[in-house]
Amino acid sequence: STQGVSSAASDVYKRQHQSHWFGLQEHLLHWLAPKTNAFHCHPLLPLPLNIFHLLLEPLNLFGAKTFSRRNGKLPITVVGSEAPIPITYQTPVASAQIKSAILFAGLNSPGTTTVIEKEKTRDHTERMLQGFGARVLSEKTSEGNIIKLEGYPELKAQEIRVPRDPSSAAFPVCAALITEGSDILVPNIGLNPTRSGLFDTLKEMNANITFENENFQGGEPMADIRAKFSPCLLYTSDAADDTPCV
């Protein structure tokens, strides 16, 4: 029914805004944690999950003081530290947002801040910080993926062309591959290895996909993607292994 579709669309809209808001607040929390300000975070929309408790432990390790409702529920009050200390932190879940927030806090902390993640997550933040001049090192070890950031870097202003979203590009690319006579060019698409798994898998399936005008912007690889009708696509059984990157 129209009402059902409208309700579903409304739910998607709310989830998207909750996700964007959570990511923004999360980064702000950690960016301000090494500063002496006291600030208060209150939800703009009701969050369905108790997810902010994942932030409190690393905030406190940096030296900030946090006050919240039971089990880390919002609203949260954070009092920044006058003398923040770098931390070594293993993320309890695979989360690029938590990793990024800790790295942002590490910018204003002396010494080396280290994040350990059991599974590699999207590395947009590491690439961006490197592009602005921060010293960020990543390595894969038996413990997992380890990211180290040197505090107090001398960041330099940059002029950056933001790559377009590869997930959004997937729709016209896949449509072109299965529509006879199609030949399309989707410009300036981000090809970060943690995001471009779909295109790699399609190539393995004999899809007629090429990358043109390959370049880097702010540490991010990007290119124009040309996709043509591909009548001889092959079956693949390896896609499940690449699911996190698709």
- Contact criterion met (CB below 8 Å) for 188 and 163: yes
Calculate what percentage of the chain has a pLDDT beyond 90. Answer: 47
Q: According to the model, what pLDDT value does residue 28 have?
A: 54
* 127 SS3 class: helix
Q: pLDDT digit string (tens) for 11-28?
A: 443 444 444 444 545 555
Q: Dihedral sign for Cα 11, 14, 16, 19, please.
A: negative
Q: Model pTM?
A: 0.76
Q: pLDDT digit string (tens) for 121-162?
A: 999 999 999 989 999 999 999 989 999 999 999 999 988 888
Cis peptide before 75 (omega within 30 of 0): yes
Residue 22's H or E segment, with its range, is helix 2-32
Q: pLDDT digit string (tens) for 27-79?
A: 555 555 556 667 766 665 555 455 567 777 888 888 888 887 766 666 777 78
- Contact criterion met (CB below 8 Å) for 191 and 139: no
* 229 SS3 class: coil
Mean pLDDT on 179-207: 94
Q: pLDDT digit string (tens) for 224-239?
A: 999 999 999 998 776 5
Closest CA to 109 of 30, 52, 50: 30
Q: According to the model, what pLDDT value does residue 229 have?
A: 97
Q: According to the model, what pLDDT value does residue 78 have?
A: 78
Distance of CA 177 to CAs 133, 143, 187, 216, Å? 40, 40, 17, 26
